[in-house]
Amino acid sequence: MGVQNRVAIVTGSGSGLGEATAMMLAQNGAKVVVNDVVPEKVDQVVEKIKAAGGEVMGVVADISKKDQAQAMAKQVVERFGRIDILVNNAGISRDKGLLKLTEEDWDIVLNVNLKGPFLLTQAVVPYMKEQKFGRIVNIASRAYLGWPTQANYASSKGGLVSFSRSMALELAKSQITVNCIAPGLIRTPLYDALPENIKENLVKSQPTGTIGKPEDIGYGVLFFADDDADYVTGQTIFICGGKSVLSSLSV
């Protein structure tokens, strides 16, 4: 049955993985809510979806703030009457070795990557429970397996996987599924900005010898968000070109 006419919120969808996911959901018939903290990015993606014939609204909000998360959920219900799909994609990184990692670096990464999904899940679940339907997809990272200089980022993503498993059990009887995607190396503006020698080494470390596309994550979201995926919950799927099979310290 797909996602036709379902209402989907995608956080951090002003660029990168979130933008690609929002576009794919819209192309498959969902009514999409584009969310980011940068108004210009929200406007750009909203216009792209409108130009392609999709139904969309944009919401500028910081999902790490409870009042803004709650307000966004309310806005969406006022506009579309329901919330069917939540994609917790917004995330940041501040990579540093342990002794250089500041308290601020730790707090901001955990607030956006873990507290944000908690707050927005808490905001949308009452609506999902009332309609007895919901699909929550949390975007973690292969990095949750552990990586040097990423103690804060890996901890936030590992926490998101555990949060997803706990919520899957808690919400199952309400017909709300909660699943996780752990992307590996994906071609994003952040990747493109890296020096060529670093990009070459990253590609060599991939079992496939290739870099993933943002759309690869979108396909995973479409699977978990599908109306017919009602027996799939509490799962984490790696979309990483096989890198997760290797030791987390493989190069």
Q: What are the phi and psi torsion angles at 179 (to 5°)?
A: -135, 170
3 state SS of 60: strand
**Per-residue pLDDT reduced to its tens digit, 180-202:** 999 999 998 777 877 898 888 88
Catalytic hit among 153, 191, 219, 231: 153
Q: Where are the domains of the chain?
A: 7-239
Q: Whose structure tokens read 């699909």?
A: 135
> Domain 7-239 adopts which CATH fold?
Rossmann fold (3.40.50)
Taking each helix axis as running N to C, give the angle between helix 151-171 and helix 116-131, from 0 to 180 degrees, rounded to the nearest 10: 20
Q: What is the distance between the alpha carbons of residues 4 and 40, in angstroms, rounded to a whole number?
A: 28
3 state SS of 238: strand
Q: What is the distance between the alpha carbons of residues 161 and 138, in angstroms, rounded to a whole number?
A: 8
Q: What is the distance between the alpha carbons of residues 123 and 65, in angstroms, rounded to a whole number?
A: 11
DSSP 240: S
Please list, in sequence order, all residues whose beta carbon lies within 8 angstroms of the beta carbon of residue 112, skipping any fewer than 6 positions away.
Answer: 63, 64, 90, 91, 92, 156
Rounded to the nearest integer, the mean pLDDT of the chain is 94
Q: What is the distance between the alpha carbons of residues 151 and 94, in angstroms, rounded to a whole number?
A: 10
Q: What is the distance between the alpha carbons of residues 184 and 141, in angstroms, rounded to a whole number?
A: 6
Q: What are the phi and psi torsion angles at 33 (to 5°)?
A: -110, 115
The whole-number pLDDT of residue 188 equals 80
- 153 given a catalytic annotation: yes
**Per-residue pLDDT reduced to its tens digit, 69-94:** 999 999 999 999 999 999 999 999 89
Average pLDDT over every residue of 97-119: 97
Contact 23, 221 (CB under 8 A): no
**Per-residue pLDDT reduced to its tens digit, 194-234:** 789 888 888 888 898 889 999 999 999 999 999 999 999 99
Please list, in sequence order, all residues whose beta carbon lies within 8 angstroms of the beta carbon of residue 22, skipping any fewer than 6 positions away.
Answer: 8, 10, 13, 32, 34, 45, 49, 56
**Per-residue pLDDT reduced to its tens digit, 153-172:** 999 999 999 999 999 999 99
